[in-house]
Amino acid sequence: MITITAIYSCKNSKTTTGKVLKFNLEKGKSYDYEILWDTDQKMMGQDNKITIAGGYTINVIDENDNIKTLTAAYRNFKMYMNIMGMEISVDTDKPSGPMDEAAIKANPLGMMDRVFAGIKGKEFTMKVDEEGKVLQVSGFEQIINGMIDSIGINDDVKMQMRASLQDQFNEQAIKDQFAQVFTIFPNKEIKSGDSWEKSFQMGGRMPAKYTTKYTVKEIEGDHVSLSAQTRIGSGSSEMEIKGTQDGSLLVDSKTGLVINAEFDQDMDIKARGMEIKIIGKGKIKGK
């Protein structure tokens, strides 16, 4: 039996004191992030699946007026898509071999694995403020050129491939991907039970507005546990989007590093007479 004396002598690592929570990755330091999204879509009576995983090494190279300049390099990139009977599998750690012109014409999707192999090790630059808003992204033109130059294809195919890649790899796409890693901070002192809201706009082919209420569940040492309840709405008049996303995050209050996060997403989309149901799961790990 634990005595009252023993209880009084135990040191509780949980704290009710406040912590300032802001984006504060340290200049000169390096951080690793793993971001995974696994989604199942139902559209036109068919089940589609998309899984995208990216590993990044982020270096903080400068800080000016509370804005951090980061370089981010792809350590690895994986993508699996099974849509309307088409299957694409990409893994930069397991690139496929060379393809001649005849093989490319017979199976143009088979070339995607080799194209994406060229992204490994490539860097882009981000500027991020203390609330975690990604203000600027640059360097993707060079990344796309490197991906295309890594394979031997004719100029016509290169042009088509460049247009496709620019649609997927651009400033807005990166802002969207890192929004749920960075755009979470109130940039003020918080304590257990406190809540705040953050909003960001997703671009791309399914523009949507995400409004998230973050609540501090617990503070233990420098670790802050958060719950996240998100309302998802339409980002344009051309598409009706309604959905929710529930998540939990563990954040290092010293740096703003998201150590671990998990999300469950449920969305309904109506566009051009089609109805799409999306169920997704996301995971983020940082160290």
Is residue 157 within 8 A of residue 149, CB to CB? The reply is no
Is residue 231 within 8 A of residue 211, CB to CB? The reply is yes
Element (DSSP H or E) covering residue 135: strand 134-138
Task: Supply 193's token pair.
Answer: 């039970």
Please tell me what DSSP assigns to residue 14. B
CA distance 82 to 48: 6
- For residue 64, CA distances in Å to 60, 128, 130 come to 12, 11, 11
Report domain extents, the chain.
27-286
CA distance 122 to 175: 17
Is residue 231 within 8 A of residue 247, CB to CB? The reply is no
| pLDDT for the residue 156 | 74
Q: Which positions of the chain have pLDDT values less than 50?
A: 1-12
Q: What is the pTM of this model?
A: 0.84
CA distance 36 to 244: 18
| pLDDT for the residue 20 | 93
CA distance 115 to 76: 13
Q: Which residue's structure tokens are 């929570």?
A: 21
Q: What is the pLDDT of residues 229-266, one digit of tens each?
A: 999 999 888 889 999 999 999 999 999 999 999 999 99
Coil vs helix vs strand at 137: strand
Phi, psi of 131 (to 5 degrees): -90, 0
Element (DSSP H or E) covering residue 216: strand 208-220
Q: What is the pLDDT of residues 132-169, one digit of tens each?
A: 999 999 988 888 887 777 666 667 777 777 777 777 77
The CATH T-level fold of domain 27-286 is Lipovitellin-phosvitin complex; beta-sheet shell regions (2.30.230)
Cβ-count burial 154-176 (b if 16+ within 10 Å, e if not): eeebeeebeeebeeebbbebbbb
Q: Which residue's structure tokens are 């309302």?
A: 231
Please calculate the CA angle 155-157-161 and round it to the nearest 5 degrees.
115
| pLDDT for the residue 149 | 72
**Hey, CA dihedral for 142, 147, 152, 158, is it positive or negative?**
negative
